[in-house]
Amino acid sequence: MLQIGDSKIVITTDYLNANPISKQLGFATYWDMGRLLVAANISDLLGSGALPVGFVASIMMEKSSSDEDFRSLMDGVKYELNNHNTPLIGGDTKLGKSNAFCGTAIGIEQLGGKLFIKNAAKPDQIIWVSGLIGNAGAAVHGLSAKVMDDNWNQWARNTLTIPSLPFHKSIALAKQALGKAGTDISDGLGENLYDLCETSSIGATIYAEKIPIDDHVVQLANQFNIPPWFYAFSIGGDFQFIVTTNEEDREIVGHLGFHEIGITTTSKDLVISSNNNVSSLPRLGHTDFNTEGFAVEVQMMLKTLKVSLNDQGI
């Protein structure tokens, strides 16, 4: 974040994974990847309450790519930017040995509003999530396991290729200056919650049964006999964010469509409560250093979570 005079500017840069989930699973298109490049960056801004005002795309296409491939990618970029009333203001293009897609999104603090930055959380604040989470992890798991029906598989493919961002929720929260601390959860609820808590020097209690979960995720979880909320602690990728607010603002924030999932604490411990049992929350989430692929990563996280929480009585 930069402060220039009275103006606060938020700048975020994010690469689209060189081998994104949908490509690993065999159904990615350049149009999809263009949309996902924009969504990954805009969602970072929304995690702070910044209003997007510009986007820069830096694109390297592998030498075997066609003009049609490039046009399809950029059409996807422009389509997603139009969804959020954000202009494409610059960029660069190159040919190289492989694809590399990098975006930079620029946002501002709204006049009269307030950003919710990562290090501003205090104890006894409510923790909210902006929407359903665990969808991407479940989609990867279900498609790779090949245990669900065609309708479910179509939902999963849509989940991984059609981004849905909580744009209006973020802007409304920031405009009313209700958010205190926030962050996108692109790497999974556990990893990004740990990051927020460490940056703010606080702890947190998460109430597992309050985590908002899609019915499709519940169906998959039943197949594997695991709690549906496990998927919220896998790879992220849902384009949602978490934010803290004061308790007196609970009713207003709830009416904006946010889901209450926990509370911040004076202790620096992170714990999860499920069915009146409390245990330490494992620090799990996507890592860019994973070389096994997203499907294996999700499976490993689910296994780790199950063993860890079973050992603690959940």
> What's the CATH number where 203 sits?
3.90.650.10
CA angle 234, 289, 96 (to 5 degrees): 120
CA angle 202, 279, 293 (to 5 degrees): 85
Do 227 and 161 form a contact (C-beta atoms < 8 A)? no
Cα separation of 99 and 184, whole Å?
25
Q: Residue 161: what pLDDT?
A: 94
* 146/290 same-domain check: yes
* 204/185 same-domain check: yes
* Residue 89 belongs to a domain: yes
* 126/222 same-domain check: yes
Q: Residue 290: what pLDDT?
A: 62
* 102/138 same-domain check: no
Among the three residues 56, 81, 108, which one is the final residue of a domain in this structure?
108
Place of tokens 């499920």: 274
Chain centroid to CA 235: how far?
9
Q: Residue 314: what pLDDT?
A: 67
CA angle 250, 258, 184 (to 5 degrees): 120
Q: Residue 291: what pLDDT?
A: 61
* 263/290 same-domain check: yes
Q: Which sign, positive or negative, has the C-alpha torsion 119, 133, 38, 286? A: positive
* 99/143 same-domain check: no
Among the three residues 53, 84, 108, which one is the final residue of a domain in this structure?
108
* Residue 169 belongs to a domain: yes
Q: Residue 33: what pLDDT?
A: 94
Among the three residues 64, 80, 108, which one is the final residue of a domain in this structure?
108
* 276/190 same-domain check: yes
Place of tokens 């279900």: 142
* 153/287 same-domain check: yes
Cα separation of 214 and 157, whole Å?
15
* Residue 113 belongs to a domain: no
* 79/175 same-domain check: no
Which residue range is the domain that position 67 belongs to? 2-108
List the pLDDT tens digit at each of the 314 positions of the chain.
788 888 899 999 998 866 667 777 778 899 999 999 999 999 999 999 999 999 999 999 999 999 999 999 999 999 999 999 999 999 999 999 989 999 999 999 998 899 999 999 999 999 999 999 999 999 999 999 999 999 999 999 999 999 999 999 999 999 999 999 999 999 999 999 999 999 999 999 999 999 999 999 999 999 999 999 999 999 889 999 999 999 999 999 999 999 999 999 999 899 999 988 899 888 887 776 566 678 888 888 888 888 777 766 66
The count of structural domains within the chain is: 2
* 222/181 same-domain check: yes
* 62/148 same-domain check: no
Q: Residue 294: what pLDDT?
A: 80
CATH of the domain at 103: 3.30.1330.10
Cα separation of 244 and 301, whole Å?
26
Report CA dihedral (130, 36, 40, 163) to the nearest 10 degrees.
Answer: 0
* 158/257 same-domain check: yes
